[in-house]
Amino acid sequence: MNRFATTPLVQAKLRQEALASYAALGMLVCILLPLFGMVGDLVWQAAPSLTWQFLTTAPTHGMREGGVRPAFIGTLYLVTISLAVATPIGVLAAVYLTEYAQDTWFNRAVNIAVLNLAGVPSIVHALFGLGAFVYAAQLGYSILSASLTLAIMTMPVIIASTREALLSVPRSYREACWNLGASRWQTIRAIVLPNALSGILTGVILQVSRAAGETAPIMFTGAVFYKAIQPGTLLPYALDEQCMALSMHLYTLSTQTPGVAASIPNATAVLLLGLVFLVNSAAIGLRTFLRSRGK
Amino acid sequence: MNRIEVRDLRVAYGDREVLHGVSFDLREKEILAIIGPAQSGKTSILRCLNRTLDFSPDARVSGAITVDGQLLDRHTDVEALRRKVGMVAPLPVGLPLSIYDNVAFAPRCAGISGRAELDATVEQCLRRAVLWDEVKDRLTISGTKLSGGQQQRLTLARALSHRPGILCLDEFSIAIDPVTTMRIEEVLRELRPELSIILVTNLTQQAKRLADRTMFLLKGEIVELADNGVIFSATPGDRRTFDYVNGKFG
């Protein structure tokens, strides 16, 4: 008798195995189909407008023709300034919470508050930004107000992801440094931060897409329907000016402007997606590089 | 003069007291072994000596510790203390830095930046830890890439890099092979004329081989502290010492 022959029990197990793997594969297809369908449809519809001119010219004829240059540059402004503010503050706050703070009820409450803040809807941040930056700080409707509002929105997520990255650095590394007479800050600077860097970067980069994509916070605080900027300059906006932004532009094209050719909002969306895709790819590349260097 | 004097040391984590009033001295240029089963408070003593117990918020310490005539209190410069009292932890830890930077880390933290001085320190410490010949051609690779035994010798080299007067080893051989263990024991014998060494170990034979005096710690109390000749004789001062040393319990 063959002692390795398949018994009914084994056959049932194999059937379960096949069922489980096909069910999981089916779910994956359910996700991928609409994703590729959506992106494919966007690109297909956007094709007539996807030219280099689209990126380098301003909208004309009441947004019905021309490109998106002011909105594209406006988005770059908002994303850069907001993350330049949110990253150092968020990372250092996370360093305090993980490396310095004692385990007291107050600090536990702060941690929970940060996690909850990360889940606050962007429209609430928009209202806060309007009250705090536009009115109270008297920055007016401006790039600065909009960027700070985006910074407030992204900061809790940066704190949370940085905390995760710091906590993933083994405690034995810290103890080894302390045993050698290193102060807390020397330990953090030499060992903890470099080893958490790829995790911290991932968290920050994810917020690039969020800052680029959100409409409500900037609509309330500094983004406008249309703004003429000087052609040919790299930095056409002043910080106390209002600006256009891709997300806001997409919204106004789709809902506020009659008679726009379908290719223009689609091309705007493709551009926004492309920007996010580019930044994410760069982040993954950077992370791979940092990890390979660390080992 | 005694390098370290410990008087009535008590340590509690929360409500649980793990050291119930321990007193002993570490003499100049001796190896003092501390043996005893798990949970007897061996590591807690070491963590008091270099004040890394400060990083455990729930720990409460009372009693007096004097290092080289200086009483440790809340005004003590703990980083300077940790440079004076070197520590080798049970598990090998290669810091994720190059081998060179692993050893140069402590001198740099102490403010030494001269390249020639660092080079000399790195070579000297790696030589003393009998690791130099294996790594001298690849000092730039990460310390985490070394084998476990090499990492433990790297840890030892690191502990020597800040020129401690006292060296504490906490079960250094727990995760390494017998050959590496014997090599490190040889290093410790060579260091004895220069350093005072506290050797916490689970291996009573290791204490017998290396130490001048041995302390038997049980459940947070010193059962017996005496010369090796007494502890490992047929008639130590306490019956429990004889039983433990001869493997009757623990």
Q: Is A21 exposed, middle or buried (0-12, 13-18, 19+ CB in 10 A)?
A: exposed
In order, the DSSP letters of A189-221 are IIIIHHHHHHHHHHHHHHHHHHHHH--HHHHHH
Q: Which residues of A touch B148 (CB under 8 A)?
A: none
**Per-domain boundaries in chain B:** 4-245
Does the pLDDT of residue A295 top 60, yes or no?
no
**Chain A residues whose beta carbon lies within 8 Å of the beta carbon of residue B81:** 181
Q: What does the pLDDT average to over A92-101?
A: 93
Instruction: Report yes or no: B225 and B215 within 8 Å, Cβ to Cβ.
Output: yes
For residue A228, what pLDDT band results from cuts at 50, 70 and 90? confident
For the segment B9-28, the average pLDDT, to the nearest whole number, is 93
Task: Give the SS3 label for residue B120.
Answer: helix
Q: In chain A, which residues have their Cβ closer than 8 Å to the Cβ of B50? A: 179
Mean pLDDT confidence for A255-275: 85
| Concatenated DSSP letters of B74-116 | TTS-HHHHHHHEEEE-SS----SSBHHHHHHHHHHHTT---HH
Tell me which residue in B55, B57, B110 faces A181 most closely, judged by beta carbons. Answer: B110
What is the per-residue DSSP string for chain A? --TTSPPHHHHHHHHHHHHHHHHHHHHHHHHHHHHHHHHHHHHHHHGGG-SHHHHHS-EETTTTEE--HHHHHHHHHHHHHHHHHHHHHHHHHHHIIIII--S-HHHHHHHHHHHHHHTS-HHHHHHHHIIIIIIIS---SSHHHHHHHHHHHHHHHHHHHHHHHHHTS-HHHHHHHHHTT--HHHHIIIIIHHHHHHHHHHHHHHHHHHHHH--HHHHHHTB-S-----TT-S----TTS-B--HHHHHHHHHHT-TT--THHHHHHHHHHHHHHHHHHHHHHHHHHHHHHHH-
- Long-range pairs for B116-124: beta carbons < 8 A, 24 or more residues apart: B121/B161, B122/B161
Res A161: pLDDT: 94
pLDDT for A67 equals: 79
Across the interface, of B82, B144, B159, the residue whose CB is closest to A178 is B82
CB-CB: which of B89, B155, B162 is closest to A181?
A: B162
Token digits of residue A43: 């690109």
Each residue of A132-191: pLDDT tens digit? Answer: 898 888 888 899 999 999 999 999 999 999 999 999 999 999 999 999 999 999 999 999
What's the DSSP call for residue B141?
S
pLDDT of B3: 92
A99: closest chain B residue by CA: B55
Q: Who's near A131: CB < 8 A, 6+ residues apart?
A: none
Give the model's pLDDT for residue A253: 85
- Using a CB-CB cut-off of 8 Å, the residues of chain A touching B105 are 177, 180, 182, 190
Residue of chain B minimizing CA distance to A189: B109
H or E element, residue B154: helix B148-161
Mean pLDDT of chain B: 91
The pLDDT value recorded for residue B8 is 94
What is the spatial distance between Cα B168 and Cα B171, in angstroms, rounded to a whole number?
10
Residue B42 has pLDDT above 70, yes or no: yes
Q: Cβ of A182 and B87 within 8 Å?
A: no
Q: How far apart are CA B183 and CA B44, in angstroms?
A: 27
pLDDT tens for each residue of B175-230 = 888 988 998 999 999 999 999 999 999 889 999 999 999 999 999 999 999 999 89
CB contact under 8 A, B52 and A175: yes
Strand-pair category, B213-218 with B31-35: parallel
Contact criterion met (CB < 8 Å) for B79 and A172: no
**What is the total residue count of chain B?**
250
Rounded mean pLDDT, A117-132: 90
Calpha distance A214→A267 (Å, rounded): 18
Question: Quick one: pLDDT at residue A244?
Answer: 85
C-alpha–C-alpha distance, residues A195 and A175, integer Å: 15
The pLDDT value recorded for residue A238 is: 79
Task: For an interface test with B, give the residue of A103, A168, A180 to mutate (most B CBs within 10 A).
Answer: A180
Instruction: Please give the residue of chain B at the shortest CA–CA distance from A182.
Output: B109
CA angle A80, A86, A89 (to 5 degrees): 140
Per-residue pLDDT at A294 exceeds 60: no
From residue A63, alpha-carbon distances to A47, A70, A258, B133, B243 in Å are 18, 12, 9, 73, 93
Question: How far apart (Å, rounded) are the C-alpha atoms in residues B92 and A106?
Answer: 36
Name the DSSP letter for residue B39: T
Provide the angle, in degrees to the nearest 10, between the axes of the packed helices B115-128 and B148-161: 130
Residue A58, pLDDT > 80, answer no
Predicted structure pTM score: 0.84
Per-residue model confidence as pLDDT tens digits over B130-187: 899 999 899 999 999 998 889 999 999 999 999 999 999 999 888 888 988 998 999 9
Q: Any idea which fold A72-245 has?
A: MetI-like fold (1.10.3720)
In this predicted structure, the answer to whether residue A1 has a pLDDT above a threshold of 70 is no
Of B81, B93, B142, which has the smallest distance from its Cβ to A176's Cβ? B93
Q: Is the pLDDT of residue A104 over 90?
A: no
Instruction: Please indicate whether residue B88 or residue A59 has the higher confidence score (pLDDT).
Output: B88
Are residues B90 and B172 in contact, defined by beta-carbon separation less than 8 angstroms?
A: yes
User: Is A195 in CB contact (< 8 Å) with chain B?
Assistant: yes
Q: To probe the interface with A, which of B109, B141, B144 has the most A CB atoms within 10 Å?
A: B109
- What is the percentage of chain B residues whose pLDDT exceeds 90? 69
**Which residues touch B185 (CB under 8 Å, ≥6 apart)?**
B206, B209, B210
Highest mean pLDDT among A21-35, A40-54, A132-146, A245-259: A21-35
Complex ipTM above 0.85? yes
Task: Name the more confident of A224 and B143.
Answer: B143
Q: Please say if the pLDDT value at position B61 is more than 80.
A: yes
Please tell me if residue B249 touches chain A, with a CB cutoff of 8 Å.
no
For the domain made up of B4-245, give the CATH fold: Rossmann fold (3.40.50)
